[in-house]
Amino acid sequence: MTREAVTREAEEPGTVPRGIVVVGNGMAGSRLVSEIRARDPRVPLTVFGAEARRPYNRVLLSNVLAGAARADQIGLVDPAWYETSGVDARLGVEVVRVDREARTVHGSDGSAVPYGTLVIATGSSSFVPPIPGTEGGLPAGAVAFRTLDDCEAIIGAAEGARRAVVIGGGLLGVEAARGLAGRGLEVTVAHLAGHLMDRQLDAGAGKVLARTLGRLGVRARLEAVVTGIRTAPDRDGAARVNGVELAAPGGGAEAAEAAEVLDADLVVLACGVRPEVGLARAAGLEVDRGIVVDETLRSVSDPSVRAIGECSQYGGTVYGLVAPAWEQAAVLADLLTGADALARFTGAREITRLKAAGVDLVAMGETHHGDDDPDVEIIRFADASRGTYKKVAIREGRVIGGILLGETGTAGTLTQLYDRAAPPPADRLSLFFTGVGGARPADSPVRMPDAATVCHCNNVSKGQILECWEKGARTAEEVAARTRASTGCGGCQDTVAGIVDWLAEQDHDGPGQVRVGVGAAPGG
C-alpha cells in the first residue's frame, strides 16, 4: 500500500496523507470500492469484509433461495479483481476497533491499518426477537435469513423438510416463503401485524397479496404472536425444531394455555434487521438508529469518518434498499476522489420491488392514506380474485406514493412520476393501465424521455443506454457490463432488453435514425 498517496479531497492540509479504509464489503462497501477504483486507479484503498466470501448481491438471495439462481451467479466482484486493481481486500477479517485518535482500525486478525478517511459500511444484521427457546442460540432447523450462508443453510434444511414456518411477513419473509413453497414445502408465514408487508402496503394490498400467496402454497397467519419455538431431540439427541407456538388471539391470561402450535421442521426468521452500529458507537461516533451523517456522508462527530448504506442515517432516515446505498457509494466516490467535489446525497425515494415467482409487486412512498384524507387524492383499482391491487396517492398535484400488485405494466410510468415528485397525467387511468385513453406507456422506448431512469438500483437513464449503444454495445449484456443497468434487483431487465431491441431495429432502418432518439449524445 502506498502510504504517500493522497486522497484527492484533501481534508486537512498539512497532515500526513493516508489512504481510504472501508469497513464492510456488502452491497454498499463493495460498491464504493469499485466506484472509487473506477474514478481513481491509484488512491490507497483497503476494504475489510467480515464474510470470507467475495461480495454478493444480497438482493438476489431470494432468487437463490427459490432456486432461480445459484450462489455463484450473484457475486458482485471477481476476487482476482482486487489484485489487479491494487485494492487491499481483507476478506474474513472483522474490524474490532476503531482508534479515532490514532486514525487506525484494528482487525480481528490482529492487524492495524491507519486511515486518512474511514468509511463505515457495516450494513445491518438480522433482528432475532427474544422468543423462548432461542436464548442459547437458534436450534437446528431454525435460521435467521440474512446472508448467503443463511440462505445455503435454509436450502440444506429444506431438503429433508416438509413444513416450514416463516416468522415475519415483511418483504424478506414473503420472498423467503414464496421461495420455500416453490421448493415444494408447505409454508406458513406468521406475521405480527394485521396484513403482510405492512410497512410498504396498505391493508387492501396486503389482503390481495395474501390471497395470491395462498394460491402459490403460502398460508398467512396474521396478528400472530410467536411465543416459542418447540424442539424435539433428533437422532443424535440434539434439539431440532418441530413447531412454532402462537399465542391465543387477544392474548390475556389464558393465552399460554390456548396456544396453537404450527408444525414445522424448518423455521426461518425474517423479523427485520438492525443497523450494525456497535463499532461506531464504541468509537464514540454519534449514533441514532444509524450513524448520523450529513449530505457528504460524513459523520457529524468526526470529519475523517464517513458512513454509507444501512448502518448510516441521513436526515432522520436509515435507508434499507439497495438504490440509496449505491447512490451514496457513487456520491462518496466522487467526493473522495475529487471527481465531483460538489456531489451530495440529499435523500432518496425508496421503491420496493418484490422478487418472487408469480407475484409482481412494486410499492413506493406513502401508501397508507385512506379515502377520507381530504388533502390526498387516492386512486384505487382492485380485482382481488385475479390478484390485482393498484393504488396511487397524490397530494398537491404530485405523486407521493403507490402500489402496483399483480399487474405492474405501468411501474415505469409511476416510478418516474414518484421519483421526480412529478404531476400525474390528467387521465389518472394511465397510472394503472397501459394503452388507456390514448396514453402510451412511458416505458415504450420511443416515448420515454432520455432523462428517464431505467435502472433504479444503479440510477441508469435511457440516455446513458443510448450513449452506450452509440459507443458500440450491441446486447443487453454489454449494456449491463458498461452501465450496470439491470444488475441490481434485475427488475428492469426486460426494459433494458426492449431498449436494445428497439435500437437494433432503428439501426436496421438506417444509422441516421438512432441519433434522432439520442439527441445530443456525446461521443455518438
- CA–CA distances in Å: residue 496 to residues 58, 401, 453: 22, 24, 11
d(CA 376, CA 398): 10
Q: Which of 199, 215 has the CB closer to a second copy?
A: 215
Closer Cβ to a second copy, 345 or 389, answer by number: 389
Strand 376-383 and strand 359-365: the pairing is unpaired
| Cβ at position 188, least distance to a second copy in Å | 19
Mention every residue, 6+ apart, whose C-beta is less than 8 A from residue 361: 209, 352, 353, 354, 403, 404, 405, 406, 408
Residue nearer to a second copy on the CB measure, 69 or 382? 382
Decide: helix, strand or coil at residue 311: helix
- Minimum CB distance to a second copy, residue 428 (Å): 6
For residue 20, give the H/E element and its range: strand 20-23
> Closest distance between a second copy and the C-beta of residue 323, in Å?
29
One-letter amino acid identity for 356?
A
Q: CB neighbours (10 Å) of residue 177?
A: 32
Residue 163 phi, psi (nearest 5):
-125, 130
Contact set with a second copy (CB under 8 A): 204, 207-208, 371-372, 374, 376-386, 428-429, 433, 435-437
Q: If we measure between CA atoms, which residue out of 270, 339, 253, 331 comes closest to residue 127? A: 270
Q: How far is the CB of 206 from a second copy (least distance, A)?
A: 11
| Comparison of 258 and 429: residue with beta carbon closer to a second copy | 429
CA dist list (Å): 384 to 110, 381, 429, 430: 58, 10, 18, 20
Least distance (Å) between residue 288 CB and a second copy? 37
What totals of helices (H) and strands (E) does the chain contain, helices first?
13, 27
Between helix 27-39 and helix 322-337 the angle, nearest 10°, is: 30
Say which amino acid occupies 149.
Answer: D
| Comparison of 127 and 433: residue with beta carbon closer to a second copy | 433
Strands 273-275 and 124-126: antiparallel
Measured from the CB of residue 430, what is the shortest distance to a second copy in angstroms?
11
Considering the complex, what minimum distance in angstroms separates the CB of residue 365 from a second copy?
17
Which residue, 99 or 383, has its beta carbon nearer to a second copy? 383
Nearer to a second copy, 69 or 379 (CB): 379
- HEC readout, 216-248: CCEEEECCCCEEEEEEEECCCCCEEEEEEEECC
**Nearest distance, CB of residue 168 and a second copy, angstroms:** 24
Q: Which is nearer to a second copy, 358 or 397 (CB)?
A: 397
Q: Which is nearer to a second copy, 251 or 370 (CB)?
A: 370
Nearer to a second copy, 263 or 366 (CB): 366
Which helix H or strand E contains 327, and what residues bound it? helix 322-337
* Smallest distance, a second copy to C-beta of residue 374, A: 8
Report the SS3 class of residue 403. Answer: strand
Closest to a second copy by CB, 155 vs 210, is: 210
Closest C-alpha to 359, from 203, 487, 179: 179
- Assess contact for 24 and 311: CB atoms under 8 A: yes
Residue-wise burial string across 112-135, b where 16 or more C-beta atoms lie within 10 A, e elsewhere:
ebbbbbbbbbbbbbbebeebebbe
Minimum gap (Å) between residue 406 Cβ and a second copy: 12
CB 366 to a second copy: min, Å: 15
Distance CA 42, CA 478 (A): 26
Q: Which is nearer to a second copy, 334 or 377 (CB)?
A: 377
Q: Order across the sheet with 104-107: list the strands.
A: 95-99, 104-107, 112-114
Q: How far is the CB of 300 from a second copy (least distance, A)?
A: 41
